[in-house]
Amino acid sequence: MRVVLVLLVLLNVARADSSKLGKEDVPLQTKGTLRGKNKLCCGYPLAPDLGFALRFYWLTAEADYLNLDQSNVPRAGACAIPANRWTEIYTAEGYFLAHIPERFACSLRLEGSGLMVDGRVLNYTGSCKQGYGYGTSRSATCFEQLDVREMPFGRGAGTRPLIPFKSVAVDTRVIQIGEPLYIPEFDGMRLPDGSIHDGCVRATDTGGGIKGRKMDFFVVTYGNFRFLLEELLGVSWITPHIMSPRCEYMRDL
């Protein structure tokens, strides 16, 4: 019954979400040619072939924005702010967190999690009365400091830590948090460290721009994002499967 209800929700036609890639100054890719995979082997597809729009996110790093050439940060998009502009960020309770480049603050708000040069990991907590963006046309945004022993790469939904190349952000009206997923387009994909992805991920996170059949894949760094754009051969649409026996190990991670 649960599977039937999920599939009924997914009868709406997916539309490409160009907002995230546009903000990162990356052109929206057309549907690419897939590697040969047996999609009937691993659970139930949540949409027709290539029915979900694929996007990426990462742990933004303050060090990249302090580097003079800034080669590891997007050069345009929503956070194309002059490098000499700085701002302050605060917790929702009004406590001071840091004085940082505004481009980094913007990226931190966009990506959700960030690594400071002093080793702290900060996470987006949402709108607040006075924080980054206060006094502008946008609502102010506040952040929190995480325990790096428990969440070294940032926090997803609730208290779930983000896992490199295994966490995805989803619309919880379509996929419930904690659900293991098999992505045939990821199966056999080479990762930046040379290892091979097995196609298994888990719904760990959410996002304000993730509506319907859209999914954000956590890739740790902006450099990894660029690497995987080439590795995926232009594929920016995927076919998630639920109830895949091979991915059940992800349920308890």
Average pLDDT over residues 9-37: 45
* Residue labelled with tokens 């963006």: 133
pLDDT class of 38 with cuts at 50, 70, 90: low
Length of the chain: 253
pLDDT in the model for residue 138:
76
pLDDT of residue 139: 85
pLDDT above 80 for 175: yes
| Confidence at 134, pLDDT banded by 50, 70, 90 | confident
Q: What angle do CA 77, 153, 149 make, to 5 degrees?
A: 155
Evaluated on CA atoms 171, 177, 179, 184, the torsion sign reads positive
Residue 83 has pLDDT above 90, yes or no: no
Region 17-36 average pLDDT: 47
Phi-psi region for residue 3, left (φ > 0), alpha (ψ -120 to 50) or beta? Answer: alpha
Alpha-carbon gap, residue 100 to 43, rounded angstroms: 46
Q: How far is the C-alpha of 48 from the C-alpha of 25, rounded, in Å?
A: 28
pLDDT band at 225 (very low <50, low <70, confident <90, very high): very high
Report the number of secondary-structure helices (H) and strands (E) in the chain. 5, 14
pLDDT, residue 91, reads 96
Residue 127 neighbours by CB under 8 Å, 6+ apart: 139, 140, 141, 142
What amino acid is encoded at 151 in this protein?
A: M
Burial of residue 69 (number of CB atoms within 10 Å: 0-12, 13-18, 19+): exposed
**Mean pLDDT in the chain?**
85
Statement: the pTM of the whole predicted model exceeds 0.85 = no
Lowest mean pLDDT across 3-17, 130-144, 176-190, 197-211: 3-17
Q: Return the closest-CA partner of residue 184 out of 240, 139, 235, 234.
A: 240
